[in-house]
Amino acid sequence: MIITKKALPRRTFLRGMGASLALPLLDAMIPAATAATRTAALPVRRLGYVFMPMGCDISRWTPPGTDGRLGELSPILSSLESVKAQISVLTNLELRNAYPGSHATSNSAFLSAAKAKHTESSDYYLGTTADQLAAQQIGRETQLPSLELSMDMLQTTGQCDNGYACVYQNNLSWSSPTTPLPSEAHPRIVFERLFGEGGSLAERQAALRKRASLLDFVAEDVASLKRKLGPSDQAKVGEYLDTIREVERRIQKAESSVADHAMPDLDRPLGVPAAYADHARLMFDLQVLAMQGDITRVTTFQLARETSNRTYPEIGVPDPHHPLSHHGNDPDKIARMAKINAFHVSLFAYFLERLKATPEGNGTLLDHSLLLYGSGIGDPNVHDHTNLPVIVAGGAAGGMKGGRHLRYKEPVPLANLHLTLMQKVGVKIDSFADSNGKINELFTPLNV
């Protein structure tokens, strides 16, 4: 590693024994020489998507009030109270191209806003998704143009829903209309993709048996770096490395506990935490690290695929999610579905709080990110793709004015929101799918 007296390069890596570790934004990366070089080192903009499967109980989702302000939160959204000033809820967005209505088209249209070709075979056809259009432009300067994550390891094949190929439910991201991008659910594999050496599964397992910690391999470079940094930067680096070590410890703990489970869940790969919430938080923490180190600027995360039969005994819901979503207007079933909805939102709240607690430049990671949370279905009981549950989160550094609830009298294409968010993070694009405008209200002050 070479550090000049001008500035530490933003793309500085610590290296050792096949490991590579990106660094967060440091004061030493922002030289005082000229305004131009300072601007070049300012925090980047990031775009993230979190997919919630099978819609929700919209009556428990929609916040009260009609004046455009996000006041009292609804029961499902109550866990977002600590970040309410940096979120906005949008009511009455639609995915017109998801009709005639199915779980497969809900999943596939969420990021593409495109109509999926009705096929059970390999001649599937969709559209390039918003995250991948963003990755083509804002992902050029990063180690990974984008990061695709999920909670379900099992990749089903054949046809999964009303004659639609399973590929439409397995994948949120498509780099072209014919190229779905697989997501990763195993924390260790994600961790090594971000920081460690690649290779086959057998090679990774052999490396794990030989090595202790990623940080042990870069210790010499860390020591050299710290000698050249000021107290503030030393503290930042220390906190970042502590977080990496803690995430690695949790992954190792999950792996060591595998032997205690004689009958592992077939939807869960070996080595992931047994509890859904622990697994999800670990996957969110990996996204925070990826953003903090500027390893990627575009992320997608599928909390579960459509038609998932996952149960949630940890919150008192032993019912499989998919059958529960077809509640037939049974109040008890709707209430249990709403508990799952609130649980998923609480995990997103954890992610936002972690981003908010991570300093970067003149703000935080949340200030420098735009994040979309939502589902491709409104009312799952009837496979409705109108009045979708949608939240946008992010900070004023990107110009977003949070703390509001946008209600539309007539359905507005979700593609309008995708177009708006892409443009705000610097993607040069004039239209997207069936967009017919932009949602500039997210970035303008409320009328007093």
pLDDT one-digit tens code per residue, 1-33? 434 444 666 656 665 545 566 667 777 776 543
* Number of Cβ within a 10 Å radius of residue 239: 14
Residues 360/25, Cβ–Cβ less than 8 Å: yes
Q: What is the pLDDT of residue 9?
A: 67
Quick check: 40 pLDDT over 60?
Answer: no
Segment 235-273, tens digit of pLDDT: 777 777 777 777 777 777 666 654 444 433 434 445 678
Which tokens is 255 given? 């792996």
Quick check: 411 pLDDT over 60?
Answer: yes
pLDDT band at 141 (very low <50, low <70, confident <90, very high): confident
Q: What is the pLDDT of residue 438?
A: 96
Sign, Cα dihedral of 92, 96, 97, 101: positive
Average pLDDT over residues 414-425: 96
The mean-pLDDT minimum among 159-173, 210-224, 257-271, 429-443 falls in 257-271
Average pLDDT over residues 216-232: 73
Q: Where in the chain is the domain with CATH 3.40.720?
A: 46-185+298-443
Quick check: 39 pLDDT over 80?
Answer: no
pLDDT band at 192 (very low <50, low <70, confident <90, very high): confident
The mean-pLDDT minimum among 34-38, 53-57, 334-338 falls in 34-38
pLDDT band at 36 (very low <50, low <70, confident <90, very high): very low
**Could you give the count of Cα atoms lying within 13 Å of 134 in the half-sphere of its Cβ?**
30
From CA 348, how far away is CA 445, in angstroms rounded? Answer: 25
pLDDT band at 395 (very low <50, low <70, confident <90, very high): confident
Using the structure block, give the residue that is written with the tokens 């860390």. Answer: 222
Q: What is the pLDDT of residue 266?
A: 38
Which tokens is 396 given? 């004023």
The residue that leads in pLDDT, 124 or 35, is 124
State phi, psi for 28 to the nearest 5 degrees: -65, -15
Average pLDDT, the chain: 84
Quick check: 330 pLDDT over 80?
Answer: yes
Q: CA–CA distance from 207 to each of 191, 219, 386 (Å)?
A: 14, 18, 49
Q: Which residues contact 250 (CB under 8 A, 6 or more apart)?
A: 187, 273, 278, 282
SS (H, E, C) 317-345: ECCCHHHHHCCCCCHHHHHHHHHHHHHHH
Closest to 353 (Cα-Cα) out of 90, 149, 80, 147:
80
CA dihedral 334, 337, 339, 340 (to 10 degrees): -170
Confirm or reject CATH 3.40.1700 for domain 46-185+298-443, answering yes or no: no
180: Cα separation from own chain's centroid:
17
State phi, psi for 51 to the nearest 5 degrees: -100, 125
